[in-house]
Amino acid sequence: MSLGTKILNNKDILEAVNKRRNFAIISHPDAGKTTLTEKLLLYGGAIQQAGAVKARGNQRKATSDWMELEKQRGISITSTVLQFEYERSVINLLDTPGHQDFSEDTYRTLAAADNAVMLEDAAKGLEPQTRKLFEVCKMRKIPIFTFINKMDRPGREPFSLLDEIESELGLNTLPINWPIGSGEEFRGVIDRFSREVILFDKAVRGKQSNEKRLSLEDKEVSKYVERDLLENSLEELEVLDEAGSKFEKEKVFNGSLTPVFFGSAMTNFGVRPFLDSFLKMAQKPTSRNSNKGDIEPASDEFSGFVFKLQANMDPKHRDRVAFVRVCSGKFEKDMSVKHSRTGKTIRLSRPQKIFGQDREVVDDAYPGDVIGLNNPGMFSIGDTLYTGTHLEYEGIPSFSPEIFSWLRNPNPSAFKNFRKGVNELREEGAVQILYDFDESKRDPILAAVGQLQLEVVTHRLKSEYGVDANLEAMPYQLARWISDGWPAIEKLGRIFNCKIVKDCWNRPVILFKNEWNLNQFVEDNNQLNLNKVAPVVS
Ligand code: G4P
């Protein structure tokens, strides 16, 4: 490559990086993630109509043919990446599976995101799934933008919602706009920086909306907003101004300050102002840590890592797709890359962009983008792909399992296939596998963060390996790896309400029934070092 083309390429990559913003939504079921996603996509023109993201109810069953299990349960298992353009920015929305389809993949998706949008229901505030996902964002120190949804319905006091975020998550808040009333009396928001009133109009819903804005000084405001409501809101704003935080980009970028927006996704209120501010404040694709230090996105060499594997997305092809987050350089169709774990060179001939249920072959991709690669068993979660000299990104952490179940093999003659299936699914990252400490009990224990992972395993064992398997739930909710090893376990006296097991690397793990049992154990054995997650195997 001549120097000339090199510079040209770099400029092209730099431009692409500057245009890109990538984020995932973290929320609890029912907070309105699907609704918000639909509305965001409306502005990008990426879908023709709101509602195309995830058809609901019967319609969903009729349109989804990805997977038998998906059909049976009427859910969308696959997390997809939705790319759309808005105001000359390219936005990648990494969809995090939620609801019953919550699984380790939900967490892993956050490993590929540069920003997170924390979505709360104004009536409920922080909810369990949001807290869990927040922990992952905190670990990665990614910027978090808060959208308080359902303002058209009676909700909690805005101050109490902010206090909760500050005191429980340790995250400073910076409201970008402030609501005027709520529920039946919701009239809109005041944009704190432009000092404008953005008026709420219930009727907009499925259309791209251009909310009516009036200056706070404009007399017309009184036509739409009752005086007491406005005064109340202005008083609260004064309190905020006196006490409040200032916008400091660095603090947003290191995840210690969250800009907060109020709106109503269903009525399409506040979505465009949110998107506009988000694009100004969000972090573009950043450098990532590797064995060679931080790798800058606008580099000559391509690199990326696998953050998710998905089997059977298309039953007609029985394929597997590895989702790769591009971290640096330019990805081009047919390029040859190195696979850091095996040292092999691979030609990436059919890279795909996956949009909802559709796929198209991509010709190129840039840092912040996600591509899908056909995966004939070659990729594992966390694998690095690169061109140039050897490179390995930091691995994706595993997550502490909370659901445990025996996996019984009812047909001993199928033992070989059963074992092969279990091992391959484990290697792929579909589920974590533990074994009883007592070696006479050979059935594996599935350890997962979501029930769906267990169902996927039994379903795939049947459809891909031809073996039956039965689940038998275990009464445990927490796992701790004992880093002091087996000698420490042998020294333990009798322990109650917990079970000693081992992982695939023969490391001791203790399962506990609940937090109380765990605390009791820690009190009685405070010399032991307990880990919430499986230590990385080097
Ligand atoms: P999720 O993906 O986070 O689980 O939530 P989803 O968008 O499916 O929304 C959950 C429910 O909350 C839906 O109602 C949705 O219409 C409603 N919702 C979302 N945003 C708002 C909002 O801003 N205001 C109000 N009032 N409701 C909102 P549903 O009855 O379960 O479904 P549907 O029949 O409306 O589709």
CATH number of the domain within which 418 lies: 3.30.70.3280
Question: Can you tell me whether residue 83 is helix, strand or coil?
Answer: strand
Distance CA(244)–CA(361), nearest Å, equals 48
Q: How far is CA 479 from CA 17, 406, 417, in A?
A: 40, 15, 28
Atom of ligand 1 nearest to the CA of 119: 3
Distance CA(242)–CA(261), nearest Å, equals 19
Amino acid identity, position 465 = Y
Q: Is residue 368 part of a domain?
A: yes
* CATH number reported for the structural domain that contains residue 377 in this entry: 2.40.30.10
Match 């920086």 to its residue by tokens: 193
Q: Is residue 8 part of a domain?
A: no
Any residues with CB less than 8 A from the CB of 221 and at least 6 apart, and which?
Answer: 197, 214, 230
Buried b (16+ CB within 10 A) or exposed e, 406-441: bbebeeeebeebbeebbeebbebbbbbbbbbeeeee
pLDDT, residue 538, reads 53
Q: Which residue owns the Cα nearest ligand 1 atom 19?
A: 32
Q: Is residue 398 part of a domain?
A: no
Domain count, the chain: 3
Instruction: Give distance in angstroms: CA of 249 to centre of ligand 1.
Output: 32
Same domain, 147 and 244: yes
Q: CA-based angle 277:282:284, to the nearest 5?
A: 135
Same domain, 360 and 410: no
Q: Is residue 161 part of a domain?
A: yes
Return the closest-CA partner of residue 175 out of 75, 263, 109: 263
Q: Is residue 423 part of a domain?
A: yes
Same domain, 112 and 206: yes
Residue 392 dihedral angles phi and psi, to the nearest 5°? -140, 120
Distance CA(278)–CA(151), nearest Å, equals 19
Same domain, 174 and 225: yes
Distance CA(373)–CA(323), nearest Å, equals 6
Ligand 1 site residues (CB inside 6 A) read 27, 29-35, 56, 149-150, 152-153, 264-266
Q: How far is CA 27 from CA 24, 98, 139, 188, 320, in A?
A: 10, 8, 17, 23, 28
Pocket test residue of 25, 27, 30 for ligand 1, highest count of atoms within 8 A of CB:
30
Instruction: Give distance in angstroms: CA of 265 to centre of ligand 1.
Output: 8
Same domain, 306 and 280: no
ipTM above 0.95 for this complex: yes
Same domain, 426 and 473: yes
Distance CA(315)–CA(101), nearest Å, equals 19
User: Using the 8-state DSSP alphabet, how is residue 74 labeled?
Assistant: T
* Alpha helices (H) along 141-270: 158-169, 221-224, 227-243, 249-253
Instruction: Give distance in angstroms: CA of 91 to centre of ligand 1.
Output: 23
Same domain, 262 and 345: no
Could you tell me how far CA 247 lies from the centroid of its own chain?
25
Q: Is residue 290 part of a domain?
A: no
Element (H, E) at 460: helix 451-465
Instruction: Give distance in angstroms: CA of 30 to centre of ligand 1.
Output: 6
Instruction: Give distance in angstroms: CA of 330 to centre of ligand 1.
Output: 38
Same domain, 127 and 219: yes
Return the closest-CA partner of residue 194 out of 265, 277, 258: 277
Of 336, 353, 386, at which residue does a domain stop?
Answer: 386
Same domain, 304 and 335: yes
Residue 305 dihedral angles phi and psi, to the nearest 5°? -140, 155
- 8 Å CB contact between 143 and 133: no
Q: Is residue 250 part of a domain?
A: yes
Q: Is residue 498 part of a domain?
A: yes
Of 227, 250, 284, at which residue does a domain stop?
Answer: 284
Per-residue pLDDT of the chain (538 residues; tens, 9 = 90+): 444 444 556 888 999 999 999 999 999 989 999 889 888 888 876 543 333 344 333 333 323 233 444 444 433 334 467 788 898 899 998 877 666 567 788 888 899 999 999 999 999 999 998 998 999 899 889 999 999 999 999 999 999 999 999 999 999 999 999 999 999 999 999 999 999 999 998 765 556 667 889 998 999 989 998 999 999 999 999 999 887 778 899 999 999 999 999 999 999 999 999 999 999 999 999 999 999 999 999 999 999 999 988 765 555 555 677 889 999 999 988 899 999 999 999 988 766 655 545 556 678 899 999 888 877 678 888 999 999 999 999 888 778 899 999 999 999 999 999 999 999 888 888 899 999 988 888 899 999 988 888 988 998 899 889 999 999 999 999 999 998 989 999 888 788 889 999 999 899 999 999 999 999 999 999 889 998 888 766 5
Q: Is 459 annotated as a binding residue?
A: no
- 8 Å CB contact between 373 and 386: no
Of 356, 386, 416, at which residue does a domain stop?
Answer: 386
Which tokens sit at 518? 């765990």
Distance CA(102)–CA(194), nearest Å, equals 39
Please provide the DSSP assignment of 482-522 as one string.
Answer: ETT-HHHHHH-----SEEEEEETT--EEEEESSHHHHHHHH
Range of the domain at 474: 403-531
Same domain, 253 and 113: yes
pLDDT, residue 8, reads 52
Q: Is 390 annotated as a binding residue?
A: no
pLDDT, residue 69, reads 44
Same domain, 377 and 308: yes
- 8 Å CB contact between 382 and 306: yes
Pocket test residue of 25, 35, 101 for ligand 1, highest count of atoms within 8 A of CB:
35
Strand arrangement, sheet containing 196-199: 177-180, 188-191, 196-199, 213-215
Same domain, 261 and 408: no
